[in-house]
Chains A and B, each alone.
Chain A
Amino acid sequence: MNAPGVRSSSAATLLSVRNLRTEIDTENGTVTAADGVSLDLHGDEVLAVVGESGCGKTMLALSILGLLPRRTGRIVDGQVLFRGEDLTQATPARLREIRGAEIAMIFQDALTGLHPLQRVGDQIVEMIRAHEPARRDAARRRAVDLLDLVGIPDPDRRAESFPHELSGGMRQRVMIAMAVALDPAVLIADEPTTALDVTVQAQVLETLARISGDLNGSILLITHDFGVVAGFADRVAVMYAGRLVEQGPVAEVYGRPRHPYTAGLLASMPRIDDVPGRLPRIAGTPPNLVSPPPGCRFAPRCSLAGDICREVPPETRLWPPDGGVTVACHHAEQVGAG
């Protein structure tokens, strides 16, 4: 599908975020929600962006499709290259073509994310007919099939339901069915299971994993849950205070974190084979993004931080140089070394 002559960083790179800076106006001032974020999503892979609440991961996701809050959010710098085409420069009409059909999105809370006054079947039909000249009854049959695909029992009848008549898990499945309706190349899932009960989370994740296996697309998974990442993603990008601090294959990053923040997060996870006791935690709280610290944003909470960390933002670099992991830390060599 790559247009000839269009340069992209890798032939298999589907979506490439380049040095993205996104600002959001808040009551307390303008926040740089994403500050120089770069990441690549390759074909047929699941890339997870993990970080705690407020680190900017949702705004990163919304930036990709130009869905930032209209009055308060804006992309101030950088590119979002989809198959080499910069979406930040795309016309509204071109963006509309891509939204839903090429890059689809699953939102966190399906109760507020689905239209409360529209039958769920109609919401899927609308998605199909926005991009294809499908007849209403044909689109409707496809919608029912999609509901069946995501594991909704009695899909023919359920298509007639309103969102409030479905359980949380069912609603999220409807969201998934709608998002995959047009077999998009990229699926952005923003905390798809956060609003659900733990047992339902597992079922919905399983559905998402199964569907993504059936489809040819890639998934950009936004989550704060390292456990979800471990079971689901191929690669992981760790975000802290608007910046990516570490990016690489899940096994590599989990096996040997290069960034003190990643290391701290992993250390604070309960392990099934661990001796009971208090879990270690990362001291302090994330910085205020209205006026973030000048150097490394993690420096105020970091035990390895020196003068350079407080003054100079670390470059993102490969470490070790021959590995597949990039990290933004002045002291990556020392992390986990003792």
Chain B
Amino acid sequence: MIAYALRRLAITVPVLVVISFGTFWAAGQISSPTAQLTLNPRISPETKQAYVELLGLDRPLHVQYGKWLGNFVTGDFGTSLVKNGQDVWPFVERALANTLLLVAAAVSLSLLIGLAVGTISAIRQGSLWDYGSVTVSFLGISIPVFWLGLMLQLFFGLYLANWLGVGPPLLPTAGIYSPGQQGFDLLDRVRHLVLPTLALSLQLVAVYSRYMRASMLEVMSADYIRTARSKGLRESRVVVRHGMRSALVPVTTQVAIDIGQLVGGLIVTERVFQYPGMGLLFLDSLEGGDYTILLPTVMIAAVVVFALNLVADLLYGVLDPRVRLGRDRRVARNV
């Protein structure tokens, strides 16, 4: 198991190198670190040249990349070009914490609902519930996140309060704290988390419930389910301990792999709700031409996605003893 994890890790490294180099190159193309200097009429060409040399911008691309990578890996994220030379790391750290909280909330909520809905759909295949959940799922998959986010803001931030005739909006529609809030306030924080979580979750619930339904349908027709019933077990035990136990194996992996696909929805959600996470930081640094923040943001997102995929793979081995991998019993899986 440990050997397998290390092997997987070793495969991950070259992929990360390719991603980081691509990002590094692209960031250099979309924003010039010297743009600010060029635009400023009071800075002489000599000063600019000195600055270019200081930053090493006259060196070949691979040398620049090597220097940046070395710094990045050792945790030296440097200072921001745009934000008056402030350290980059605190920005990234805050954004990362906010985003992880949002993702954790959305994924847990979606798993809870999605797995339950999918399981009930499968054991009541063809029922009204089943058809209903299929319909809602298709709606959930089809509705774009930005539109859903705006509708949630309108509904909870405006219409609902109007209809009920109460004054202030029921839920805040932007940020993570109310204006003027000093320090940590759990209730306020959670209230700000509700709408972005809902916006992010609808699609996830739809997708997870489809996975679970398909997986459960397959499992519940297996011979060992019949065996479990022949043992005189309660149906709830047959469904949960024998059915769901097996059905969760492929679903877990798929869910972890899908985390990567969450990034797009996350960027949109954070923008709509002005939620100060990695997505918003990414957009701000992209639009502000601050590649010193853009680069670590993208890289950390990539590393986290890869790490979760690795966890998914290892989880597969934990959940399914048939996949506890020796060299000779390896199951080919996508990296």
Contacts and interface: CB of A to CB of B under 8 A. Distances in A.
Interface of A: 62, 65, 67, 69, 71, 92, 95-101, 104-105, 107, 109, 112-118, 126-127, 130-131, 162, 164, 178
Given A117-B245, A162-B321, A92 B235 contact: yes
A96 B125 CA distance: 23
A97 B222 CA distance: 22
Point out which of B126, B227, B233, B320 has the most chain A C-beta atoms below 10 A from its C-beta.
B227
B147 to A, nearest CB: 38
Interface in B247-265: 249
Nearest to B230: A105
A101 B322 contact: no
Contacts of A116: 224, 246, 320-322
B224 A101 contact: no
A96 B321 contact: no
B227 A107 contact: yes
Nearest to A175: B227
Please classify how large the interface on chain B is, using the bins under 10, 10 to 19, 20 to 34, 35 or more.
20 to 34
Given A162-B321, A162-B322, A164-B322, A115 B224 contact: yes
B191 interface: no
Given A96-B233, A96-B234, A117 B223 contact: no
Given A112-B223, A116-B224, A67 B230 contact: yes
Given A117-B319, A117-B321, A162-B321, A99 B231 contact: yes
Interface string B249-290: 100000000000000000000000000000000000000000
B228 interface: yes
A67 B226 contact: yes
A104 B230 contact: yes
10 contacts: A96-B234, A97-B232, A99-B229, A112-B222, A113-B223, A115-B242, A117-B249, A117-B319, A118-B242, A126-B231
A325 to B, nearest CB: 31
B223 A109 contact: yes
Which DSSP category, helix, strand, loop or mixed, fits chain B's interface? helix
A107 B226 contact: yes
B233 A126 contact: yes
A127 B232 CA distance: 8
Contact of A114 (B227, B237, B246, B320): B227
Which DSSP category, helix, strand, loop or mixed, fits chain A's interface? mixed
A100 B223 contact: no
B312 to A, nearest CB: 17
Given A67-B230, A96-B233, A130-B231, 5 more contacts: A99-B232, A112-B222, A114-B224, A115-B242, A126-B231
Contact of B231 (A100, A109, A112, A164): A100
A71 B223 contact: no
Nearest to A128: B231
B249 to A, nearest CB: 7
B101 to A, nearest CB: 33
Interface string B118-130: 0000000110000
A65 B230 contact: yes
A113 B230 CA distance: 11
A107 B231 CA distance: 12
B320 A107 contact: no
B232 A130 contact: yes
Nearest to A108: B223
Contacts of B233: 96, 126, 130
Contacts of B229: 67, 99
Interface in B298-321: 319-321
Nearest to B249: A117
A115 B124 CA distance: 22
B234 A117 contact: no
B230 A99 contact: yes
A123 B320 CA distance: 16
B236 to A, nearest CB: 11
Contacts of B321: 116-117, 162, 164
Contact of A100 (B125, B222, B232, B246): B232
